[in-house]
């Protein structure tokens, strides 16, 4: 039985083949969460629906239900984020973002925050592909913050000394204190005081300021590796494998 048409604004996270020339897209919206929509004829030459087979675009789609499926009637691109597809590192990040956004949007309470984060993240990745590590680190940590898995690190370590920018501190992927000395175990990692303060900033800053963070290559590398380890540990899923960490 056919239903009334609904207008969705959202981001195409994933696109998979369905039947011969059609595709099913996973469409993340702010008001309706994650919606699966069938787009007919995307594989036909010259199809006006072909755009819907390309992930990471911000679009407006009009869809209606028929026989238990949502079918796209019409759609338009708001922001293509096309530069992601011409950079291998950015493509890898885009797929990582999509996997994590799908996982987190399963919790309906987070759909609005997930959508807003996705809009900013894909836009900044498309326009700053060389900063893919820092963007990914900020994204990972913000997702964890939304899900309630991050901690606000104290500005003192376990000995009571103030955390200084250039000294190294030991952090654990299971959260908790900042340690002044090394600890054994794969969940531990040494980070600079600057990195510790950056994590606190990323977790709490206005979403519009999230990707304004800057830093050295070493800072980007350390935040990238630590947030992937923390993410994998907290969500009990290997998010590191795609990046070979």
In tens, the pLDDT along 73-111 reads 999 999 999 999 999 999 999 999 999 999 888 765 788
| Residue 23 C-alpha from the chain's centroid | 23
One domain for residues 239 and 139: yes
One domain for residues 36 and 142: no
Total structural domains in the chain?
2
Asked whether residue 227 is domain-assigned, the answer is: yes
Asked whether residue 44 is domain-assigned, the answer is: yes
> Stretch 132-143: mean pLDDT, rounded?
97
Scanning 59-185, the segments in alpha helix (DSSP H) are 88-105, 111-127, 132-147
Amino acid 18: pLDDT: 87
Domain that residue 187 falls in: 128-243
Asked whether residue 196 is domain-assigned, the answer is: yes
> Stretch 156-173: mean pLDDT, rounded?
69
Asked whether residue 222 is domain-assigned, the answer is: yes
Q: What is the pLDDT confidence band of residue 245, given thresholds at 50, 70 and 90?
A: low
Q: How many CB atoms lie within 10 A of CB 88?
A: 10
- Rounded CA-CA distance 162/140 in Å is 26
Amino acid 135: pLDDT: 98
- Rounded CA-CA distance 195/154 in Å is 13
> Stretch 220-228: mean pLDDT, rounded?
94
Q: For residue 151, give the nearest of 111, 116, 103, 196 by alpha carbon.
A: 196
Q: Identify the residue whose tokens are 């380890």.
A: 229
Q: What is the dihedral of CA 134, 245, 83, 46, to 10 degrees?
A: -150
- Rounded CA-CA distance 144/93 in Å is 17
Residue 2: is its pLDDT beyond 70? no
Residue predicted with more confidence, 61 or 185? 61
CATH of the domain at 27: 2.40.50.140
Residue 173 near residue 151, CB atoms below 8 Å = no
Q: What is the pLDDT confidence band of residue 195, given thresholds at 50, 70 and 90?
A: very high
One domain for residues 138 and 73: no
- Rounded CA-CA distance 54/242 in Å is 20
Residue 15: is its pLDDT beyond 70? yes
Percent of the chain's residues with pLDDT above 70: 86
Q: What is the mean pLDDT of the chain?
A: 87
């Amino acid at each position: 039985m056919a239903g009334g048409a609904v207008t969705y604004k959202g981001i195409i996270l994933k696109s998979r083949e369905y039947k011969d020339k059609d595709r099913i897209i996973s469409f993340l919206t702010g008001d309706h969460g994650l919606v699966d929509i069938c787009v007919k004829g995307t594989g036909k030459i010259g199809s006006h629906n072909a755009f819907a087979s390309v992930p990471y675009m911000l679009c407006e789609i009009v869809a209606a239900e028929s026989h238990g499926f949502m079918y796209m009637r019409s759609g338009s691109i708001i922001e293509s984020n096309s530069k992601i597809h011409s950079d291998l590192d950015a493509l890898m990040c885009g797929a990582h973002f999509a996997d994590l956004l799908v996982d987190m949007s399963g919790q309906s309470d987070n759909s609005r925050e997930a959508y807003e984060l996705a809009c900013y993240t894909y836009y900044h990745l498309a326009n700053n592909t060389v900063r893919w590590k820092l963007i990914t680190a900020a994204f990972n940590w913000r997702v964890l913050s939304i899900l309630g898995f991050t901690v606000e690190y104290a500005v003192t370590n376990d000995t009571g000394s103030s955390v200084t920018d250039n000294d190294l501190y030991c952090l654990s992927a299971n959260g908790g204190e900042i340690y002044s000395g090394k600890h054994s175990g794969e969940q531990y990692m040494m980070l600079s005081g600057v990195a510790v303060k950056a994590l606190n900033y990323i977790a709490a800053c206005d979403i519009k300021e999230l990707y304004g963070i800057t830093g050295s290559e070493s800072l980007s590398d350390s935040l990238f590796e630590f947030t992937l380890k923390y993410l994998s540990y907290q969500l009990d899923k290997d998010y590191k494998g795609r990046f070979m960490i």
